[in-house]
Amino acid sequence: MDQFTLNLLVVGATFALYIGIAIWARAGSTSEFYAAGRGVHPVINGMATGADWMSAASFISMAGIISFGGYNTSAYLMGWTGGYVLLAMLIAPYLRKFGKFTVPEFIGDRFYSQTARTVAVICLITASLTYVIGQMTGVGVAFSRFLEVDKTTGLLIGAAIVFFYAVIGGMKGITYTQVAQYVVLILAYTIPAIFISLKLTGNPLPPLGLFSDHVGSGAPILETLNGMLQDLGFTEYTKQTDTTLNMFLFTVSLMIGTAGLPHVIVRFFTVPTVAAARSSAGWALVFIALLYLTAPAVGAMARVNLIDTVYPNGTTEAPLAYEQRPDWVKNWEQTGLLGFDDKNGDGLINYTGSAETNEFSVNRDIITLANPEIANLPGWVIALVAAGGLAAALSTAAGLLMAISSAVSHDLIKSQINPSISEKGELLSARISMAVAIVIATYLGLNPPGFAAQTVALAFGLAASSIFPALLMGIFSTRINNKGAVAGMIAGLLVTLVYIFLHKGWFFIPGTNSFTDADPLLLSIKSTSFGSIGALVNFVVAYVVSNASDEPPVEIRELVESVRIPSGAGTAVDH
């Protein structure tokens, strides 16, 4: 059986599974559509949360970013993992105890303001749409290679699949679909990693293989990789080149952005009790760790294999002739995500760290997907990785679209535009708003502002600067009032958006059409790191405005205290 047919069979089987689950778990009420009827078991919810949280950025792009960025990009691992711990400890259990359907609903009730709720909806949609662009980018990358279609066609196919199972199933369908997607993606990520670790280091456990000796050189694999890169003119893999300030702010931005992600937070509304919310948070961390402990090894070993492909004789002085390039290079060339430019006309693939002499361009988003082909693994592993990449992208896209749909139908239409709408009408409006969100996300996914992980990092910065501070202050401070919360969210979001647009070159600059990063406007702070500064602005503005105006009503202060009190944490009261 040829590889294309095998890919089609495996990917098709997983899609059939997702659609079948969506039909089986079809939402019949708003409670099931928004919160899966609050009856999901903690282990199941933990697995679904893992799939929801480990997006295309984690599966497809993170290893590629690490593979090419080395030490500097370790912040992705630290920020995303640390942020989940913040979410599990400081946010999720308290919001579950509050007993609402959505994040904007909590903000609206806590800050006793429809304006606060509306601003929260705007912040949520801005962050979620930016995030979903990264997922659609990942879908396009995976489809373009493994189903041999262009990125646009692949993106449209992925959008159609998400449309079907998310619109029909709502949160109930998405939850059980994400369980299946987690199983697919974690198998797809770890199985090839085990093969490659065994091949390069003799150790079957990739996290340990990363610190083992390279079979060929006999030296530690990271030391071997450093030597390879140094010989080719690249920066050493373990060397820090970014400023400590930017790395710190980037890590913080990812952490608090993770803790403010609405599509992950709403997962904890699906369990029956606060105790179950805490339990599912712990399980989710276990399921997430399986991939995140493996990712650094995948990135480093993929770079070793990539260099070995171009320099098969073990010496950087004898590059491979272009006409002798392996099949995996030919396959990825067809997608436009890998290319060769024979600058000196010698017919050899010169892969170097110099822009003037480098002739081999590799899109970072292909590393995880191409890894099994680079390592010459069996065809079924390649097909499984294709299915895993799509599962990661589709699971998170569905969660994000669910958050957007809930915000529009429940927090705008039901709460403000048409409070007398029937449950059937609200359910219909939720499905329509999700369909519209899918169309918009697909359109934006055709022209992403960066690699999948970079685009997602921008979304985390937006969530960090707008949603996280409002949630944290809403839970732990009785002094922050409605005026302060609204002013803080608006200030944090606007200052972050302006910085991102200026830094990414998205305002008109005479003589340029570039969408790449410009020089940092403030010290060494890049656009992906500015979310932490935006969050600080949010906190300061909210505090100053609140202290310059009236205290919140007594009943709101009592509400805040009741949410934090652990007594009765075994049961949650739905308001």
The DSSP annotation for 214-225 comes to PTTTSSBHHHHH
Angle at CA of residue 44, ends 13 and 406, nearest 5°: 85
Q: How confident is the model at residue 510 (pLDDT cuts 50, 70, 90)?
A: very low
Q: Supply 259's token pair.
A: 């803790």
Is a pLDDT exceeding 50 seen at residue 521?
A: yes
Mean pLDDT highest for which of 199-208, 521-530, 555-564?
A: 199-208
Q: Supply 2's token pair.
A: 């040829």
Is a pLDDT exceeding 70 seen at residue 203?
A: yes
Q: Tokens 């390879």 identify what position?
A: 228
Q: Tokens 């075994």 identify what position?
A: 570
For the residues 107-132, what does the mean pLDDT come to? Answer: 88
For the residues 420-442, what does the mean pLDDT come to? Answer: 84
Higher pLDDT, 244 or 161: 244
- Tell me the C-alpha to C-alpha distance, in Å, between residue 326 and each of 332, 338, 431, 574: 11, 13, 47, 60
Which of these ranges, 246-255, 269-278, 496-505, has the smallest mean pLDDT?
A: 496-505
CB 237 within 8 A of CB 71: yes
The residues with which 340 forms a beta bridge, in sequence order, are: 360
Q: How confident is the model at residue 482 (pLDDT cuts 50, 70, 90)?
A: very high
Q: What is the pLDDT of residue 460?
A: 81
Is a pLDDT exceeding 90 seen at residue 368?
A: no
Rounded Cα distance between 553 and 542, Å, is 17
Q: What percent of the chain has pLDDT over 70?
A: 90
**Is residue 157 helix, strand or coil?**
helix
| Assigned fold of 3-302+377-564 | Sodium/glucose cotransporter (1.20.1730)
Mean pLDDT highest for which of 24-38, 130-144, 288-302?
A: 288-302
The residues with which 220 forms a beta bridge, in sequence order, are: 213
Q: What is the pLDDT of residue 556?
A: 92
> Nearest-CA neighbor of 392 among 183, 120, 87?
183
Q: Report the b/e string of 1-16 with b at 16+ CB within 10 A.
A: eebeebbbebbeebbe
Is a pLDDT exceeding 70 seen at residue 370?
A: yes
Total Cβ atoms within 10 A of residue 318: 12
Mean pLDDT highest for which of 24-38, 118-132, 148-162, 202-216?
A: 202-216
Is a pLDDT exceeding 80 seen at residue 186?
A: yes
CB 488 within 8 A of CB 538: yes
Alpha helical stretches, state H, 30-113:
30-35, 42-53, 56, 62-69, 74-86, 92-98, 103-110
Q: What is the CA radius of gyration of the chain?
A: 24
Q: How confident is the model at residue 574 (pLDDT cuts 50, 70, 90)?
A: very low
Is a pLDDT exceeding 60 seen at residue 514?
A: no
The residues with which 348 forms a beta bridge, in sequence order, are: 321
Q: What is the pLDDT of residue 508?
A: 37
Q: Which helix (H) or strand (E) holds 140?
A: helix 114-146
Is a pLDDT exceeding 60 seen at residue 505?
A: no
Is a pLDDT exceeding 80 seen at residue 100?
A: no
565: left (phi over 0), alpha (psi -120 to 50) or beta: beta
Is a pLDDT exceeding 60 seen at residue 165?
A: yes
Q: Which helix (H) or strand (E) holds 340?
A: strand 338-340
Q: Report the b/e string of 369-387 with b at 16+ CB within 10 A.
A: bbbbbbbebebbbbbbbbb
Rounded Cα distance between 491 and 489, Å, is 6
For the residues 201-208, what does the mean pLDDT come to? Answer: 95
Angle at CA of residue 368, ends 367 and 373, nearest 5°: 80
The residues with which 213 forms a beta bridge, in sequence order, are: 220
113: left (phi over 0), alpha (psi -120 to 50) or beta: beta
Rounded Cα distance between 299 and 285, Å, is 21
Q: What is the pLDDT of residue 248?
A: 92
- Start-to-end CA span in the chain (Å): 57
Compute, in degrees rounded to 10, the torsion defined by CA atoms 455, 459, 460, 466.
160
Report the sign of the C-alpha dihedral through residues 23, 26, 412, 111, in that order: negative
Q: Tokens 């979620």 identify what position?
A: 128
Rounded Cα distance between 96 and 570, Å, is 11
Is a pLDDT exceeding 80 seen at residue 198?
A: yes
Q: What is the pLDDT of residue 297?
A: 94
pLDDT single digits (tens) 335-350 = 788 899 999 999 999 9
How deeply is 81 buried, as exposed, middle or buried, from its count of CB atoms within 10 A (0-12, 13-18, 19+)?
A: middle
The phi and psi torsions of 29 (rounded to 5 degrees) equal: -145, 165
Q: What is the pLDDT of residue 513?
A: 36
Q: What is the mean pLDDT of the chain?
A: 84
Total Cβ atoms within 10 A of residue 339: 14
